[in-house]
Amino acid sequence: MKRTIYYFFLLVLIFPAIDSVFQLFHYTKLNGSFLPVQNPVFTAESWLDNSFQTQKEDYVSDNLNAKPLLTRIKNQLDYSFFSIANNNEGVVGKNNFLYLESYIENYTGDNYIGDENLNKTSTTIKNLQDFFAKKNITLLTVFLPSKASFYPEYIPSHYTKKK
């Protein structure tokens, strides 16, 4: 029994490598935009300066066949237990409303760029409008409402507390 369990665990450890080499299972690809890691070329120089090893480790991790499954397990656990969305800027709000952090910060004014920068930007826009007006082109400046401004009530309270 103990021997079986031990070898079962060895199989669990080696399985991701075998699965990566022989593509035993098909996993639904991960969504989103990210740069794939390139497989490094081995040279004595890249070995000695450690760049080969660093990139190879990243490459192996990035190209593990089961990466989508394991990533989804981690993300699901973080979301279900801690209400954390593991993508760039994702924030889980009240009633499971999803936001991007920069939109919340626009709404709360946390990323306010300051009067001086605002004046500079509006002067630039005005100059552009005047420039295009001389060519009979109307330049309209439109302020886009964001999800945060439509649903401020679902923004997590620690953002609104800061406000």
Partner 1 sequence: MVFSSTLFLFYFLPIFLIVYNLTPHKYKNYWALFASLLFYAWGAPKFVFVVASVIIVDYFIVNKIDSSDNKRLRQRLLAVSVVLKVGLLAYFKYANFFVENLNYVINLMGGENVAWTKVALPIGISFFTFQALTYSVDVYRKVHKPLKSIADYLLYILLFPQLIAGPIVRYNEIADQLNDRKEFETIDNKIIGFYRFVIGLSKKVLIANVLGAEADKVFALTEPQLTTNIAWVGILSYTFQIYFDFSGYSDMAIGLGRMMGFKFPENFNNPYISQNITEFWRRWHITLGRFMKDYLYIPLGGNKVTVKRMYFNLAFVFIVSGFWHGAAWNFILWGAFHGFFLIMDRLFLLKVFSKIGKIPSVIITSFITIIGWVIFRATSLNQVIFYIKELFSFNFSNYYVDSKFWYILIVAVLFSYITLLKKGLKLEQFIFFKEKYSNSQIILLGVLMFILLIISSANIIASGFNPFIYFRF
At residue 134's C-alpha, the angle toward residues 132 and 138, to 5°, is 40
- The answer to whether residue 1 forms part of the interface with partner 1 (CB under 8 A) is yes
Q: Is 143 exposed, middle or buried (0-12, 13-18, 19+ CB in 10 A)?
A: exposed
Bin 138: left if φ > 0, else alpha if -120 < ψ < 50, else beta: beta
**Residue 152 Cβ, how far from partner 1 at the closest point, in Å?**
17
Range in contact with partner 1 (rule: CB under 8 A) among 1-9, 113-121, 129-137, 142-150: 1-9
Q: CA torsion angle for 54, 60, 62, 63 (degrees, to 10)?
A: 150
Range in contact with partner 1 (rule: CB under 8 A) among 87-95, 111-119, 122-130, 142-150: 87-95
For 10, phi and psi rounded to 5 degrees? -60, -40
**Residue 127 Cβ, how far from partner 1 at the closest point, in Å?**
30
Range in contact with partner 1 (rule: CB under 8 A) among 60-68, 109-117, 129-137, 145-153: 60-68
Asked if 44 contacts 92 with a C-beta cutoff of 8 angstroms, the reply is no
- The answer to whether residue 161 forms part of the interface with partner 1 (CB under 8 A) is yes
- The answer to whether residue 87 forms part of the interface with partner 1 (CB under 8 A) is yes
Asked if 52 contacts 40 with a C-beta cutoff of 8 angstroms, the reply is yes
Which of 64, 129 has the CB closer to partner 1? 64
Interacting residues toward partner 1 by CB under 8 A: 1-3, 5-6, 9-10, 12-14, 16-17, 30-34, 47-48, 50, 53, 56-58, 60-61, 64, 66-67, 70-71, 73-75, 77-78, 81-84, 86-88, 90, 100, 158, 161-162
